[in-house]
Amino acid sequence: MANSFRASRLEPQASLVPGGLFAVCFVLAWINASFFPAAYLCGGWIWDAHGLGIPTDFVNVWAAGKLALQGHPALAWDWDVQRAVELDVLKQDWPGGYFAWHYPPPFLFVAAFLAQLPYSIAFIGWACASFVPYLVVMRAIVGRAFGFVLAAGFPIVFSNTIVGQNGFLTAALVGGTLYLLPMRPVLAGICLGLLTYKPQYGFLFPIVLIATGRWPTFVSAAITAVVLAGISTLAFGVESWQAFFHWMPTFSQAFLTEGKATWWKLQSIFSLIRYFGGTEALGWAFQWVLTAAVVVVLVAIWRSPVRYSLKAAALAVGTLLTTPYLFLYDMMVLVIAVAFLVRIGLKDGFRPYELPALGCAALLLIAFILFGVPVGLAANLIVGSLVLLRAGPWWRREPARAAHALAAA
């Protein structure tokens, strides 16, 4: 293979993708693309070798949609009813309890659409359909065709696809919001409003928007969220919202107090403290201290003359650091921060430590996939550190001309 990959014959020498970066992403993309057809045919994905459904997260989406189509959308949040539908489609039981539905009512539109399809088609179709906007956003952020390779080669693509989760959609909406914010603020707000299907990501964005006076985006996001809530109320009834709020404490108790999902599956500082035997109070103390630190740093960076790509990358990493409820598939958002860093590196050149550090972060994510070691927080901190190192002395106020030049990058 050539030492470097040229995105376009017309691009200058400085825009070449480092050969090692391209090779690693290409190999990982090839593994992701080839594994799932083979696994499906061999009984290792969606259905097992006996024709029984493999218990994974997607079954709760399909089951919730089925209940909505049957005229009982509020029952989607009832754990026992939901589980009965899941057992019916998978044709087998599984140890450990539930795949609970815990999304706000607007996401029932997606679930109901998918539930109109046979389970296999819905599963594969959801993975493919949500992958498309993710690819488009990654291509836009990186600024060249290599964005497709980076997107397909990100290790969490494997984890997200194998369980049929929504990480591609989340990454597309976070990335779309950040990419569109400087030039299409209203469209950015619409993306952010659609992201309300993941409430845990609704904390940092409003703070940053208010701190920087980006009111068109803030208002359009609020309007989008209200419209979605209103339409879902008309479609699924007030009872769906009542069920959502009724079952949320139960869900929180099970996953953040009792650790029903097991602590090693979560990738937050809260879960890491619990994994090593810390109390719930100690876990929340660490989580809130980290959250406060992230908020202070983000507001300072976003109000500084640092170039926009670094601000966007910082906010993407920050969304992962400030939520205690963070499964590995949610870390698809980390690739948005990586994409902005790669965009800068392809434009200005990579610093000597950046590609090795990104490689270490990727190895940590792969280690979790292979061995179940909760190292996602370390990967987030590595990428976050790269952002801060690139930003340099971001707390200093520079002359207006220099600030304008940096912010435009």
So what's the pLDDT on residue 6? 38
pLDDT tens, residue by residue, 297-349: 999 999 999 999 999 999 999 999 999 999 999 999 999 999 999 999 999 99
For residue 376, give the 3-state DSSP assignment. helix
Overall average pLDDT of the 125-132 stretch: 98
pTM above 0.75, yes or no: yes
More reliable by pLDDT, 261 or 30: 30
User: Which tens digit of pLDDT belongs to each residue from 251-277?
Assistant: 888 888 888 888 999 999 999 999 999
The pLDDT assigned to 203 comes to 87
396 pLDDT tier (thresholds 50, 70, 90): low
**Among 184, 202, 196, 201, which Cα is nearest to 231's?**
196
381 pLDDT more than 80: yes
Calculate the average pLDDT of the chain: 91
Instruction: Identify the band that residue 5 occupies on the pLDDT scale cut at 50, 70 and 90.
Output: very low
Residues 1-20 have a mean pLDDT of: 53
- Structure confidence at residue 77 (pLDDT): 96
pLDDT at 96: 67
Give the Cα separation of 208 and 279 in Å (integer).
31
Statement: residue 214 has pLDDT above 70: yes
Give residue 259's pLDDT: 84
| 30 touches 365 (CB < 8 A) | no
DSSP conformational letter for 396: S
* Candidate from 270-279, 367-376, 395-404 with smallest mean pLDDT: 395-404
Using one digit for the tens of pLDDT, what is the confidence trace for 34-61? 999 999 999 999 999 999 999 999 999 9
For position 393, what pLDDT does the model report?
Answer: 75
pLDDT for the residue 1: 41
Burial status of residue 350 (CB atoms within 10 A of its CB: 0-12, 13-18, 19 or more):
middle
CB 74 within 8 A of CB 68: no
- The answer to whether residues 65 and 115 touch, using CB atoms and an 8 Å cutoff, is yes
